[in-house]
Chain A
Amino acid sequence: MRLLWSILFILTPLASLAEEVVLGLSQDKVAITTSFDGSEILIFGAVKRETPILEDSPLEVVITITGPSEPVTVRRKSRMFGIWVNTDAVEVDRAPSFYAVATTAPLSDVLSETEDLRHKVSIDRAIRSVGAPDNIANSALFTDAVIRIRREADLYQTLESGVALDQQTLFRTAIDMPSNLTEGDYVTRIFLTRDGQVVSSYETTIAVQKVGLERWLFVLSRQQPFWYGLLSLAIAIAAGWGASTAFRLLRG
């Protein structure tokens, strides 16, 4: 009997969620093959609820995809002796290699500052810089540079109003992933919000991985670099000799 009570207690907070996400993905794996040229991920789902739809404030949906994070060195050029030289460097501690956030309305309307800070949803919050050297006055400029450069490369995307929501129940969005993806697990998060507060969230991962020949070559280059180097040279020598012979035969 005591066991039953404790189970009920655990279940209570879950049961109190009035609205939950039921998710579908067009694919939960992205296979990088020889002909890989970027990928469009379709994310769709429904809001499951036991109670009638609350009419006082509209439901909003925020979807994020986060690629594997790794530290990155940001260097700044300045003019010395008449030429442009890298003079300052800051290490940005955690910067996702890919980050997309899609929402049903402008981000500031659907998510409060506090909730953004807690869940690290906006691009600015998802990137963190620490350990800037003392001699660099404005290290925020370096974090901005990471965001700016990766935005240019479509690695960071903000798709405000990029999520379509029907009847406050069905939502869907499409996110374009560029061809220069880093391998790893891409965390996909879905937040349901009302009045800027997160009322429910859901998380899943999309695995991005090289397959077939791409995988084999990549693994070989890392695990057997010597043989990989010899393989590259062998191909080069064979091609050079082959072309020379072929041309001689053609003319002769």
Chain B
Amino acid sequence: MQVYLPIAEVSVNIFLVLGLGGLVGILSGMFGVGGGFILTPLLFFIGIPPAVAVATGANQIVASSISGVLAHFRRRTVDLKMGTVLLAGGLLGAGLGIGVFNYLKSIGQVDLLVNLCYVVFLGIIGALMFIESLNAIRKSRKAGGKPPFVRRQRTWVHALPFKMRFRTSGLYISVIPPLGVGLAVGVLAAIMGVGGGFIMVPAMIYILGMPTKVVVGTSLFQIIFVTAFTTMLHATTNYTVDVMLALLLLIGGVIGAQLGTQIGLRMKAEQLRILLALMVLAVCGKLALELLLQPGELYSLAPVGGD
């Protein structure tokens, strides 16, 4: 069954789009990532124009994140205070990022930047997470399934001023690192057209030292606002949000997010991390190949003065 999308101006199969939304929703609920880094390339693949895919993807992530975060609220695994600090940095970063995005779009290099960002960040994060979680699994096996208690080390993060107590995370740290993480993720989120969860989640675990249990809910919480902000910016400046496409994606997405949350709660943190790491590396590898191999079509078309 086909449906015509008014803004994307293409006709797509309803069940294909519903399925895509569902898949991304499951990831969202399981890992606390918005799933944008998988959704956006998949939308390109089914023939949605890139500008529409990026903007509509952001809108869809709002829905699946809300669905996911409500489940986390009921389990009290959202650090609202930390989320708010991250968000303040995130909104500022998103504003900056949109500026960079529009400049690069005008000189025709936005695809390159987006791809490079994906390859570099997905590569680094995927590799780090993979190695770390592999070690964690090995250690827990040796110790007879009981993970050894590691006392948190004092790093540069603990030496900064403006300390604040984050009760839910059990942290007493400076607000500068979370603000910085939020800002960096905001910039990247706007440029890459994603929520930034796949950068945010590891940053919260490894830089801020937050417990994995709280990380997913808190990440989802701030993703809602950053992607809502991005959606509004795209809708008012580029007119590229396709509400029909978003509706189909999010019907699949919200259901998927609920399933994903259930699956996530039944799995061990290390297993969850290793799965996410593998997926991140797979997407990274595919994008790297696109940059390195000679493309089948060297030419590309774009309307004058835009993308």
Contact = CB atoms under 8 A, between A and B. Distances in A.
B253 to A, nearest CB: 8
B6 A214 contact: yes
B254 A240 contact: yes
A176 interface: no
Residue of A225, A229, A245 most packed against chain B (CB within 10 A)? A229
B7 A74 contact: no
B169 interface: no
A210 B236 CA distance: 21
Interface string B234-250: 11100101011011001
Interface in A215-252: 215, 217-218, 221-222, 225-226, 228-233, 235-237, 239-245, 247-248
A180 to B, nearest CB: 4
A73 B257 contact: no
Interface residues of B, number: 57
Instruction: Categorize the interface residue count of chain A.
Output: 35 or more
Nearest to A91: B304
B219 interface: no
Contacts of B292: 82-84
A142 interface: yes
Interface stretch (A32-40, A53-61, A161-169): A32-40
Contact of B6 (A78, A181, A210, A236): A210
A35 B66 contact: no
A245 to B, nearest CB: 8
A240 B66 contact: yes
A48 interface: no
A18 interface: no
B63 interface: yes
Contact of A232 (B67, B243, B253): B243
B112 interface: yes
B235 A229 contact: yes
A204 interface: no
A145 interface: yes
Given A76-B299, A236-B60, A226 B236 contact: yes
A78 B304 contact: no
A182 B9 contact: yes
B40 interface: no
A86 B111 contact: yes
A12 to B, nearest CB: 45
Contacts of B67: 239-241, 243-244
Contacts of A245: 70
Interface string B287-307: 000111111011111111000
Interface in B250-307: 250-251, 253-255, 257-258, 290-295, 297-304
Nearest to B240: A221
A136 to B, nearest CB: 12
B77 interface: no
Nearest to B5: A214
A146 to B, nearest CB: 6
Residue of A79, A215, A221, A222 most packed against chain B (CB within 10 A)? A221
8 contacts: A75-B299, A83-B292, A86-B109, A146-B301, A149-B300, A179-B2, A229-B241, A241-B67
Closest CB pairs A-B (n = 5): A240-B66, A229-B235, A243-B254, A145-B299, A179-B11
Given A180-B47, A181-B9, 6 more contacts: A84-B290, A179-B10, A180-B9, A182-B9, A235-B246, A240-B250
Interface of A: 32-38, 70-79, 82-86, 89, 91, 142, 145-146, 148-150, 179-182, 210, 213-215, 217-218, 221-222, 225-226, 228-233, 235-237, 239-245, 247-248
